[in-house]
Amino acid sequence: MMREASLRVAVLVSWVAVAVAVGPGCKRQADAAGTPSKPVATVADRTPAPASLDGRWRAELASPGGPLPFVLVIDGTSAHVVNADERADITGVRRSGDRVVFEIEHYDAAIEAVLSEDGAALRGEWRKRAAEGTSRLPFAAARTDLPRFAAAADADNPPGAVASVAGTWAVSFTDEDGPFPGVAELEQTGQRVSGTILTGTGDYRYLEGRYDGGLLRLSTFDGAHAFLFVARARPDGSLAGDFWSRDTYHATWTATPAGDDAVATVLPNPYEEVSMTSADRVLRFSFPDLAGQTVSFDDARFRNKVVLVDLFGTWCPNCNDLAPLLSAWHKRYRERGFEVVGLAFEFTGEADRDRRMLQVFRDRYDIEFPLLLAGVSDKAEAAKALPDLSAIKSYPTSVFIGRDGKVHKIHSGFAGPGTGEHYERLVADMEATIEELLNH
């Protein structure tokens, strides 16, 4: 802003000097010489039009593991992020001079940046409200058609390393809580790689990156979830590397080639992760809705109905994948006696903030079933709020209840659309369960 003020002062001084030089006497001399007088330029005339933001930008966050790149496409006051086949919406773009704010309202996140004088670069910060506070990472973007990741300059391609990472891989992650399994399903064309990694709780969304020189790099960013995977090929044909999420989470990982049945053999059965502790198989709950009214399972609206209880958080990527399906199923089947209720476990436990995020979530997916404030996202604390369940292993967790009021199935996690056929099969299976319960 100081630079703009200095520019205005300099232009104003110049204007005054010109005005004095072509005062009444000078004007008469010029007219007498036959040279027509010219209008004096104003400050507005000399202020260049602001550079447009529209177009494709190669953006990146400065992750603790290195640059985390993604593609940002801007069109006026709207924008989206590109990760492989995904187009993740930005809520809105606000601009004031050289300052730009990309709002990601549904994830309580934003990017704030400053546009360079030549309009070719953006620099700033991404912030996201998280369970442990506010995550922050430096942000930069440039107008360029350069690839997501540059060619590997320092990669070491050892003898025996795989020539391509295309295929299915059995993955083992290790973080501060210990090891957990995953399955990577990757495609490769030339050096470009895309795919996802499934775990027992969900998936790591649409990953895109590069494999060359024995170095694999994958990233994704949807406005709230910033994932960076880096691994090097080893002489035995396996991969080993690191995984970073946002500014706080780190895990190591290894991967070995696996068969097409790896999801079934490596990952736990999502229908066996959580069981009922109550002998009568009844899931009891009683929490406030967005209007502050208490909603309980023994309310009349749920009596003799098939009910799907969704344990979720607005912050959870796979919960956002499931939400539009729940909204559509509720509209489609409610005339046949189907109800849905969402039990939200949010980051902060601040009622006003959590209620606001639930309202955004409700409006975004056109949800007409009740959303209840059930507690905080910590799984151990959430389990205490629902003692009829043995545990809460992941968000979302889907509890299917029959007309008899008893729990018939519990599904932990959700494989989102980035998992392709796994998503399609899961959606078909969940809908078949609804149909089965409605027909009994």
pLDDT digits over 71-117, tens only?
Answer: 999 999 999 999 999 999 999 999 999 999 999 999 999 999 999 99
> Comparing 145-159, 189-203, 392-406, which segment has the lowest mean pLDDT?
145-159
Judge if 185 and 318 occupy the same domain.
no
Taking the C-alpha atoms of residue 282 and residue 297, their distance in angstroms, rounded to an integer, is: 9
**Residue 1 pLDDT:** 43
Judge if 388 and 332 occupy the same domain.
yes
What CATH number is associated with residue 210? 2.40.128.120
pLDDT category of residue 34 using cuts at 50, 70 and 90: very low
Beta-bridged to residue 331, according to DSSP, are: none
For residue 43, tell me if it sits in a domain. Answer: no
Residues 9/14/15/20 CA torsion (nearest 10 deg):
130
Domain encompassing residue 409 = 286-438
Share of the chain above pLDDT 70, in %: 89
**Residue 46 pLDDT:** 52
Judge if 195 and 114 occupy the same domain.
no
Q: What is this structure's pTM?
A: 0.86
For residue 416, tell me if it sits in a domain. Answer: yes
For residue 39, tell me if it sits in a domain. Answer: no
Judge if 227 and 123 occupy the same domain.
no
Judge if 409 and 315 occupy the same domain.
yes
Judge if 193 and 71 occupy the same domain.
no
- Picking from 126, 142, 158, the residue at the C-terminal end of a domain is 142
Mean pLDDT for the chain overall: 89
Judge if 310 and 411 occupy the same domain.
yes
What's the whole-number mean pLDDT along residues 181-200?
97
For residue 155, tell me if it sits in a domain. Answer: no
Taking the C-alpha atoms of residue 352 and residue 360, their distance in angstroms, rounded to an integer, is: 13
Judge if 213 and 291 occupy the same domain.
no
For residue 185, tell me if it sits in a domain. Answer: yes
pLDDT at residue 425 tops 80 = yes
Condensed to tens digits (0 to 9), the pLDDT of residues 384-421 reads 999 999 999 999 999 999 999 999 999 999 999 999 99
Judge if 403 and 326 occupy the same domain.
yes
For residue 47, tell me if it sits in a domain. Answer: no
Total of domains in the chain: 3
**Residue 48 pLDDT:** 61
**Residue 22 pLDDT:** 35
pLDDT at residue 296 tops 60 = yes
Judge if 92 and 208 occupy the same domain.
no
pLDDT at residue 13 tops 70 = no
What CATH number is associated with residue 346? 3.40.30.10
**Residue 129 pLDDT:** 87
Judge if 245 and 302 occupy the same domain.
no
- Picking from 206, 231, 266, the residue at the C-terminal end of a domain is 266
For residue 276, tell me if it sits in a domain. Answer: no
**Residue 154 pLDDT:** 72
Judge if 418 and 323 occupy the same domain.
yes
